[in-house]
């Protein structure tokens, strides 16, 4: 980690400690962690809300490696803010089509099969829904990728049906009823832009992988601390060989998470068009490693780690939620395998060393 990333992540970590996000139980309809407006404002003061967006588009011009460092901190702190959606997805889409990036909170989505798009004169008409949009209820702007166009939509043009993931984070359905979208809200992507549904999925995978890396690190730190404090048979449980083996295995998996996320960010920085496979691979690897960390952390903690009052569940429920989003690690693994097989014998090695 270079000095710039170290200083930036420390500033973000300090902000998270000053403005902690409120933990909640599993979210049902209408439930979820409180929107952490104070932390969002602190991140804005630090200047990271549009960290990877080019400076000429109003961002900080940071690389993805730096952005992943911030995401790891936010994942470790269970931060109730849509930083990844705002910085890596919405800001990226708008900058790729040369649109002005508005102030306020943004989230992003792809117009899927459940959203009907038709033309009525000079306007587009939207009917249907986009399912499970992260932090949809908190967003001032929804940025939607529809083919080679990007739409900038506002809450008055759609309804929000509340939902949540296992950790209680908002995952809301955005519902349109013959919503008319004017040309001013629709911008075509640059002809040379590599943006498509697949690259959007790759960036989403990178966001989730980096967040899981942070959550896995926090679960390991909590387990190490608990094992040094919990007494059994007259000594702390970290003196028992089995627990030592658990902690050693967790340390290796935590490092794997961190290295995988950072390697994927570096690959996308080098080649935005072809680095998506690295992000997909990172998502698959981190999902498996972080799941091992979560399971082992609960073995170390015993029943206390499952209680709503204990901070461990804030990390582990997020790991379990994030690994299943965007199609889930299993779907991504199948896609990655098909892509590698499709390269043929001569393409296998290059695809492994991208």
pLDDT at 29 over 70: no
pLDDT at 32 over 50: no
The whole-number pLDDT of residue 275 equals 84
pLDDT bucket at 28, cuts 50 / 70 / 90: very low
User: CA-based Rg of the chain, rounded to a whole angstrom?
Assistant: 21
Query: Average of pLDDT values for 254-278?
Result: 92
Please identify which residue in the block is written with the tokens 């779907």: 331
| Integer Cα distance of 332 and 349 in angstroms | 20
**Of residues 308, 257, 248, 316, the one with CA closest to residue 286:** 257
Predicted model pTM: 0.94
Q: What is the DSSP string of 55-84?
A: GGGTS----HHHHHHHHHHHHHTT--S-HH
326, 332 Cβ separation under 8 angstroms = yes
Half-sphere exposure of 68 (CA within 13 A, CB side): 29
Query: All domains of the chain, ordered by start, with CATH?
Result: 3-188 (2.40.110.10), 197-352 (1.20.140.10)
Please write the tens of the pLDDT for every residue from 291-336. 999 999 999 999 888 888 889 999 999 999 999 997 778 888 888 8
What DSSP state is assigned to residue 164?
B
| Integer Cα distance of 287 and 278 in angstroms | 14
Instruction: Give the H or E element holding residue 178.
Output: strand 171-181
pLDDT bucket at 267, cuts 50 / 70 / 90: very high
Please write the tens of the pLDDT for every residue from 161-186. 999 999 999 999 999 999 999 999 99
What DSSP state is assigned to residue 239?
G
Largest CA distance in the chain: 79
């Amino acid at each position: 980690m270079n000095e710039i990333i170290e200083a930036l992540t420390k500033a973000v970590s300090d902000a998270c400690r000053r403005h902690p996000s409120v933990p909640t139980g599993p979210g049902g309809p209408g439930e979820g962690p409180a929107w952490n407006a104070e932390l969002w404002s602190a991140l804005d003061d630090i200047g990271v809300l549009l960290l990877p967006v080019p400076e000429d588009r109003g961002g900080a011009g940071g690389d993805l490696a730096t952005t992943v460092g911030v995401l790891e901190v936010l994942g470790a702190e269970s931060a109730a803010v849509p930083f990844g959606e705002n910085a890596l997805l919405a800001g990226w889409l708008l900058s790729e089509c040369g649109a002005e990036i508005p102030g306020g909170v943004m989230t992003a989505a792809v117009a899927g099969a459940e959203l009907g798009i038709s033309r009525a004169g000079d306007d587009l008409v939207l009917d249907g829904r986009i399912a499970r949009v992260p932090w949809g209820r908190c967003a001032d702007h929804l940025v939607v990728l529809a083919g080679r166009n990007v739409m900038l939509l506002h809450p008055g043009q759609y309804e929000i049906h509340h939902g949540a993931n296992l950790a209680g984070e908002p995952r809301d359905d955005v519902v349109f009823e013959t919503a008319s979208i004017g040309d001013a809200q629709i911008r075509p992507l640059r002809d040379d832009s590599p943006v498509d549904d697949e690259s959007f999925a790759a960036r989403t995978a990178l966001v989730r992988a980096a967040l899981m890396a942070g959550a896995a690190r926090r679960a390991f730190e909590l387990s190490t601390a608990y094992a040094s404090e919990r007494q059994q048979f007259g000594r702390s449980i970290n003196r028992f060989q089995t627990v030592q083996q658990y902690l050693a295995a967790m340390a290796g998996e935590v490092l794997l998470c961190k290295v995988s996320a950072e390697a994927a960010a570096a690959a996308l920085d080098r080649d935005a068009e072809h680095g998506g496979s690295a992000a997909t691979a990172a998502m698959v690897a981190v999902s498996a490693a972080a799941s091992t960390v979560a399971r082992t952390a609960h073995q170390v903690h015993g029943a206390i780690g499952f209680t709503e009052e204990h901070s461990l569940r804030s990390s582990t429920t997020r790991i379990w939620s994030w690994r299943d989003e965007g199609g889930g690690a299993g779907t991504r693994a199948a896609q990655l395998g098909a892509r590698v097989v499709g390269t043929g014998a001569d393409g296998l090695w290059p695809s492994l060393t991208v």
